Chain A
Amino acid sequence: MALDKQLSAAAAVAQLRSGMTLGIGGWGPRRKPMSLVREILRSDLKDLTVVSYGGPDVGMLCAAGKVKKLVFPFVTLDAIPLEPYYRKARESGAIEVMELDEGMYEWGLRAAGMRMSFLPTRVGLATDVLAKNPSIKTIASPYADGEVYVAMPALKLDAALLHVNEADRLGNTLVCGADTFFDHLYARAAGHCYVSTEVLRERFELDAETAKLNPFERYLVTGVVHAPGGAHPTYMGPDYGWDMEHFKRYNASAGEEGGWRQYVEEFVAPGEAEYLARVGGAEKISKLKLPVF
């Protein structure tokens, strides 16, 4: 069937190229497409520009030396505020950065999705965000007020990687967590959008209430990857919480000699099926408690 967009994670990642700009959905340690990120770690992709409200996705891609440039407002694991591998990369000067306010970043994705070159905002004025990013210009209102705004440039993505609760083979998606974050804007800003999903259906047959959980249209979706547990170790509401023990282990690895190599050997290199087994299996993931804020 022409509209069957299902493919494997490896096939999705094979469609990416070194040097691309990749947007990664979710927020910090929440609903990150980690199975796709792990597949990138297994690939020979490099020199990526990563656009992310950053969590372990950013840390792991930095640790693996995949990142040339990072476009971001923050990188954090929340309960562990400072992401260890992001810090290493940042403090050693290994990555270029475009550091943005959270809202400017949203505006940049929105501009790209609307096929605009920029959107105006007051946010960023009088800060070092502009001083450190001389490519970002200001613009004066053409109206009587004459106010000077930041002209937040479009953040165009070659590809977006997202993780959702449910999808069908046509590329229809549902996001069921309390907050859908800004995933719809990544889908709109990207030339190609790859969605991994906890549950894959042949074709959705939804009631109207459930259909309201559909965050963006299927014409934006290039490929659908079936990846149960695919957000682990991040928070995938309402299906499972973040895996604090795993985060602690990951965080500790950054302080150990050869820690990242060991982490890769143990969890990443053996493949996704083995990853799920080594973190305790689907049953254990499904029982990870939802975080209490």
Chain B
Amino acid sequence: MTDVTLAELMIVAASEAWRDNGEVLASGITTIPRLGASLAKLTHSPELLMTDSEAFLVSEPVPLGPRGDYKPRYEGYMSFDRVFECVWGGKRHAMIGPTQIDRWGQTNLSAVGDYAKPKSAVLGVRGLPGNSICHINSLFVPNHGPRVFVGGEVDMVSGVGYKPERWGPGMKRDYVDLRLIVTDLCVLDFGGPDHAIRVKSLHPGVGFEQVQAATGFPLLQAEGMGETPLPTAEQLAIIRRLDPHNLRGAVLKNNPPARKAA
């Protein structure tokens, strides 16, 4: 399978985030996380709930882009109002791509630089404070580098993490549950001491030192750190059916192959 792309490998890696989550709303935000959630529902985790990315629950993941005569298979309703209720009740696993991530899993989607006069105003904190303190979250990084994985704290903590000093007496952090970070170099988890970030698997042709050099804080190696698996033929067929316009091919610069040419 020489024509497998890195984006497709990342979709498969992302889909693993939703394995054994039970009946929760799977929210993959932007192309690769959404395809990952869709693949999870169509393969190992049919119990997941998904929306049409607007306001309705669907029993089958909706393909991306113009759908031709495809009719979504509605099974219920999930307006923004209901999504918030779902968030607060904890029955959700979202995967989003923040602008910055730090060693404690704290995320920033608000502003880079000085808060009063930022170098870059991004979207705003959006739902990150609520998502991160209420339910399972995973993260997506299409450009693994030290500007994303920052050395100190993120510039504006939008999503909470495991930094003890951030939590005052009486604040409940029991529901904080960070799972995977899927990047264009590797898959990370929070399985180290005190939730320290570890490399769980390296994408084909990527070395640990390369990942470490692209990360602003020290990384651990998970026991049995291996290679991120390539998609199977079945997974590839599903991905291609879900993304008939190849939007996944536009996520990573030059749409590189899963295994770099030697």
- Seen from chain A, the residues whose Cβ lies within 8 Å of a Cβ on chain B are 27, 54, 72-76, 81-82, 86-87, 90-93, 99-104, 106, 121-129, 131-132, 138, 140, 146-148, 178-182, 292-293
Question: How many Å from the CB of A166 to the closest CB on chain B?
Answer: 19
Residues in B with CB closer than 8 Å to A148 are 168-172
Q: Which residues of B, 132-188, contact A by the 8 Å Cβ criterion?
A: 132-134, 156-160, 163, 166-173, 175
Decide if B118 is an interface residue (CB 8 Å cutoff).
yes
Q: Is the CB of A91 within 8 A of B120?
A: yes
A104 and B129 contact, Cβ closer than 8 Å, known pairs A75-B124, A91-B118, A178-B55: yes
A106 and B170 contact, Cβ closer than 8 Å, known pairs A74-B126, A101-B130, A127-B158: no
Question: Roughly how many angstroms separate A90 CA and B122 CA in the complex, as a whole number?
Answer: 10
Q: Is the CB of B123 within 8 A of A179?
A: no
Decide if B71 is an interface residue (CB 8 Å cutoff).
no
Question: Interface size bucket, B side?
Answer: 35 or more
Q: Is the CB of B125 within 8 A of A100?
A: yes
Q: Is the CB of B56 within 8 A of A126?
A: no
Q: Is the CB of B157 within 8 A of A127?
A: yes
Residues in B with CB closer than 8 Å to A128 are 110, 115, 156-158
* Set B84, B125, B166: member contacting A106, Cβ < 8 A: B84
A179 and B79 contact, Cβ closer than 8 Å, known pairs A126-B171, A126-B173: yes
Residues in A with CB closer than 8 Å to B55 are 178-179
Question: How many Å from the CB of A104 to the closest CB on chain B?
Answer: 7
A123 and B170 contact, Cβ closer than 8 Å, known pairs A74-B126, A91-B119, A99-B125: no
Residues in A with CB closer than 8 Å to B169 are 148
Look across to chain A and name the residue whose beta carbon is closest to the beta carbon of B111: A90
A293 and B123 contact, Cβ closer than 8 Å, known pairs A91-B117, A122-B134, A126-B160: no
Look across to chain B and name the residue whose beta carbon is closest to the beta carbon of A76: B123
Q: Is the CB of A90 within 8 A of B118?
A: yes
Residues in A with CB closer than 8 Å to B127 are 73, 101-103
Residues in B with CB closer than 8 Å to A91 are 117-121
Chain A to chain B contacts (Cβ below 8 Å), 6 pairs: A73-B125, A101-B125, A101-B126, A124-B129, A129-B125, A178-B56
Question: Roughly how many angstroms separate A90 CA and B54 CA in the complex, as a whole number?
Answer: 28
Q: Is the CB of B54 within 8 A of A178?
A: yes
Residues in B with CB closer than 8 Å to A140 are 170
Residues in B with CB closer than 8 Å to A180 are 79, 81
Q: Is the CB of B79 within 8 A of A132?
A: no
Q: Is the CB of B119 within 8 A of A122?
A: no
Question: How many Å from the CB of B223 to the closest CB on chain A?
Answer: 29
Q: Which residues of B, 48-91, contact A by the 8 Å Cβ criterion?
A: 52-56, 62, 65-67, 79-81, 84, 87-88
Residues in A with CB closer than 8 Å to B173 are 126
Residues in B with CB closer than 8 Å to A87 are 120-121
* Set A126, A131, A293: member contacting B133, Cβ < 8 A: A126
Question: Roughly how many angstroms separate A106 CA and B67 CA in the complex, as a whole number?
Answer: 33
Question: Roughly how many angstroms separate A126 CA and B172 CA in the complex, as a whole number?
Answer: 10
Question: How many Å from the CB of A100 to the closest CB on chain B?
Answer: 7
Q: Is the CB of B67 within 8 A of A126?
A: no
Residues in B with CB closer than 8 Å to A179 are 54-55, 79-80
Look across to chain A and name the residue whose beta carbon is closest to the beta carbon of B122: A82
Residues in B with CB closer than 8 Å to A93 are 116-117
Residues in A with CB closer than 8 Å to B157 are 126-128, 131
8 residue pairs, one from A and one from B, having the closest CB atoms: A148-B170, A74-B124, A293-B53, A90-B121, A101-B129, A178-B55, A93-B117, A179-B55
Q: Is the CB of A92 within 8 A of B160?
A: no
Q: Is the CB of A182 within 8 A of B80?
A: yes
Question: Roughly how many angstroms separate A242 CA and B135 CA in the complex, as a whole number?
Answer: 32
Q: Is the CB of A99 within 8 A of B54?
A: no
Residues in B with CB closer than 8 Å to A121 are 88
Question: Roughly how many angstroms separate A104 CA and B171 CA in the complex, as a whole number?
Answer: 16
Question: Roughly how many angstroms separate A73 CA and B125 CA in the complex, as a whole number?
Answer: 6
What does the 1/0 interface line of B95-130 toward A look like (CB < 8 Å)? 000000000000000110001111111111111111
A103 and B124 contact, Cβ closer than 8 Å, known pairs A123-B133, A148-B168, A178-B56: no
Residues in B with CB closer than 8 Å to A129 are 125, 129, 158
Question: How many Å from the CB of A72 to the closest CB on chain B?
Answer: 6
